[in-house]
Amino acid sequence: MRMKVYLIAALFAGCIFVSCKSNGFKENEGLYLMLYDLDNNAVSEAEVYMDEKFCGRTDVYGRFIFFFEEKERGENHLIRIKKEGYLSVEDKINYEASLFLYYRTGTFRQYFEKGEKFLEQGKYKKAEESAELALKIEKREDALYLKMLALIKAGEKEKAEKLKESFSEDLKRKEYFTELEKSDER
């Protein structure tokens, strides 16, 4: 029984070796891509596109390997990586052999929490930028409010007032809006 298991394992390994060697690509000449979130967790199952053509998905470790044809070397290519609930990544590359790419992306929650921390630290421009990134993932009023607070704290009251117009009427009547208006009057 044990001999059968070893024989099957050896045949399987041999098949993989032959199929990898017979694909026409030279070893170590691919594009190696890694995708992680803002907490350094691998982002699996993200769709990878090369020049608008779907190429596959990242694995459970956030990795993706792509092999170019010889004629594509030295050419410019557009990489786009997308996953529902994450900020999309887009990059222009000029492919050469053994290109390693490392990308970071985040979820709405990650960018929103980052923006809140920046606001607490008095880094208002960074708070606004983080809120804007969260809004690219999902249009939510809590992120709009964070952006508005960052603008107010940064002294950009006109921009904040313009942004306030995009809120729903129900939200404009909430306590934190009335408190904000009272602090403006002082």
Residue range 59-105, pLDDT digits in tens: 999 999 988 776 667 778 899 999 999 999 999 988 776 778 999 99
Instruction: State the pLDDT confidence band at 47, using cuts at 50, 70 and 90.
Output: very high
Query: Which spans in the chain are helix H?
Result: 2-21, 108-121, 124-137, 141-153, 157-164, 169-172, 175-185
- What distances in angstroms separate CA 27 from CA 16, 21, 64, 70, 74, one per listed residue? 14, 8, 15, 13, 18
Q: For the domain that residue 152 is a member of, what is the CATH number?
A: 1.25.40
Count the domains in the chain.
Answer: 2
Instruction: Based on the fold, state whether residues 101 and 146 are members of the same structural domain.
Output: no
Q: Are 81 and 126 in the same domain? A: no
In this structure, are 57 and 40 located in the same domain? Answer: yes
Within a domain: 1 = no
Are 41 and 97 within one domain? yes
Domain end (from 72, 105, 138): 105
Which pLDDT score, from 0 to 100, does residue 172 have?
Answer: 55
Asked whether residue 5 is domain-assigned, the answer is no
Q: What pLDDT score does 7 carry?
A: 42
- Residue 12, in any domain of the structure: no
Query: Is the distance from CB of 96 to CB of 85 less than 8 angstroms?
Result: no
Chosen domain end from 54, 83, 105: 105
Q: Cα separation of 172 and 181, whole Å?
A: 10
Range of the domain at 153: 108-185
Q: Please name which of 152, 111, 107, 147 lies closest in space to residue 128, comparing C-alpha atoms.
A: 147
